[in-house]
Amino acid sequence: MLITGVSGFVGQKLAARFLEAGHRVIGVDLRAGDFNFARHPEFQFYAADLTDPASVADLPFENVDLLYHLAAAGVKAATRQWPLCVRVNVMGTATLMQAFLQRVNQGQSVPRIVYAKTYYKDHLGAIPAFQENPYVVSKVAATRWVEALSAVYPQSITIAKVFQVYGPGDDPNNVLSYAARTLKAGEKATFGSGNSLRDWIYIDDFIADLIACGADHGIGLHRFDLGSGERHTIREMVELIAELAGADIRHHLSFIKHQTYENTPHRLRDSTELAVRRTHRPEFIEGPKSGFIGSHTLDRLLALNGRLAGKHGKLD
Ligand SMILES: NC(=O)c1ccc[n+]([C@@H]2O[C@H](COP(=O)([O-])OP(=O)(O)OC[C@H]3O[C@@H](n4cnc5c(N)ncnc54)[C@H](O)[C@@H]3O)[C@@H](O)[C@H]2O)c1
């Protein structure tokens, strides 16, 4: 299979899991990540910029039966600028889809596609802040490209709606990584209102779901929601991490009241609606056969306790 964005938080974990299972993996990214599977005989890395049609044309699509398109800009706040997000998310995705369309027109083989979309997409109209967020807007446009391709594509295309993934390897500036790092160091951690409700999914559970998304679901467009099925506020998550880190909540945590979409009343109602609305679940090809594939979020955080306390352990 081929994974774009293989050097990212999700891409690295997905590639590792597929390699462990004995698959051949072609990884594509701007530059190689700090892979612990770099020398794996079944792993091949291609440094390529997906916005460059010539680089995309050089990718070895002939024997690829499954493509995970994970490359994106703006997932991390540091890369959330309009020009970059539009170039990578919209133009990069369009370039890749155009390459497949060309292969279809020339009667060449094309892979099944799994595309990771953001759950923010469903709330673009309801939450004004999202309309000013280059990551959200560009991912929405990119998702439309992928959906449009499905009308003429002779393989399954799966749109995976991704909720809030967390766990080792995540962006150090992510709110939970920040909380874990700061509290472990015994420092004071400061947050916004913490009222925003999210469906947090642990990286390992998410990867298992993502793998299930790659199965052949038949020609056409398929949609799966990848979350834990539970919602917790940022505050709940952070307080639990504080407890696990042995930090005194009253002295080490502070939540600042400021006007964001998280705590204005009408927007709070909107963000409360960022619930998991599972359309249907992927057929599991590994892991539990029923119920949510992930343990409950709080159990997962508890499982991280060892890592928080451990010598080498870390949440970020
Ligand atoms: N992490 C989450 O909670 C979350 C939530 C919703 C959706 N998603 C989606 O899942 C996917 C993976 O997310 P992630 O957390 O691994 O993001 P990430 O930022 O860690 O990884 C993205 C990767 O894409 C690569 N990339 C950027 N521009 C590129 C280009 N022009 N050509 C080739 N590669 C390029 C980056 O170098 C990076 O390695 C993204 O599409 C993201 O939108 C993630």
**Domains of the chain and any CATH numbers:** 1-162 (3.40.50.720)
Judge contact between 68 and 114, C-beta under 8 A: yes
Query: For a pocket test of ligand 1, which of 13, 17, 69, 70 has the largest count of ligand atoms closer than 8 A to its C-beta?
Result: 70
Separation of CA 257 and ligand 1 centre (Å): 31
- Please tell me which residue, 315 or 103, carries the higher pLDDT value: 103
Q: For residue 309, is pLDDT > 50? A: no
Instruction: Give the pLDDT confidence of 181-237 residue by residue, as tens digits.
Output: 888 788 888 888 788 888 888 888 889 889 988 988 889 998 888 887 778 888 888
Give the model confidence (pLDDT) of 42-69 as tens digits: 999 999 999 999 999 999 999 899 999 9
Whose alpha carbon is nearest atom 12 of ligand 1?
Answer: 70
Q: How many residues does the chain have?
A: 316
Q: How far is CA 79 from CA 152, 162, 169, 176, in A?
A: 33, 19, 17, 19
pLDDT of 112 above 60: yes
Helix axes 9-20, 203-213, angle to 10 degrees: 70
This prediction has a pTM of 0.85
- Asked if residue 159 lies in contact with residue 146, where contact means CB atoms within 8 angstroms, the answer is yes
The Å distance, Cα 75 to ligand 1 centre, comes to 6
Please give the mean pLDDT across all residues of the chain. Answer: 80
pLDDT at position 4 is 98
Residue bearing the CA closest to ligand 1, atom 11: 70
What's the pLDDT at 306? 45
Query: What Rg, from alpha-carbon coordinates, does the chain have?
Result: 20
CA of 243 to the centre of ligand 1 (A): 31
Instruction: Give me the mean pLDDT over the 96-110 stretch.
Output: 96
- Mean of pLDDT values over 119-148: 85
CB of 195 within 8 A of CB of 234? yes
Site to probe by mutation for ligand 1, drawn from 46, 93, 146, 162 as the one with most ligand atoms within 8 Å of Cβ, is 162
- Find all residues with CB under 8 Å of 110, minimum gap 6, and list them: 61, 100, 103, 104, 153, 154, 155
Looking at the predicted structure, is the pLDDT value of residue 316 above 70?
no
pLDDT at 111 over 90: yes
| CB crowding 115-154: b at 16 or more within 10 Å, else e | bbbbbbbbbbebbebbeebbbbbbbbbbbebbeebbeebe
- Rounded to whole angstroms, the Cα distance separating 121 from 139 reads 8
Q: How high is the pLDDT of residue 295?
A: 37
Residue 71 Cα: closest atom of ligand 1: 24
Take residue 101 and report the two structure tokens written for it.
């369309």
Residues 6+ apart with CB under 8 A from 195: 233, 234, 235, 262, 263, 268, 271
Picking from 50-64, 124-138, 208-222, 293-307, which range would have the lowest pLDDT averaged per residue? Answer: 293-307
pLDDT at 127: 74
pLDDT, tens digit, for every residue of 239-265?
Answer: 888 887 777 777 778 887 654 444 433
% of the chain exceeding 90 in pLDDT: 45
Check pLDDT > 80 for residue 76.
Answer: yes
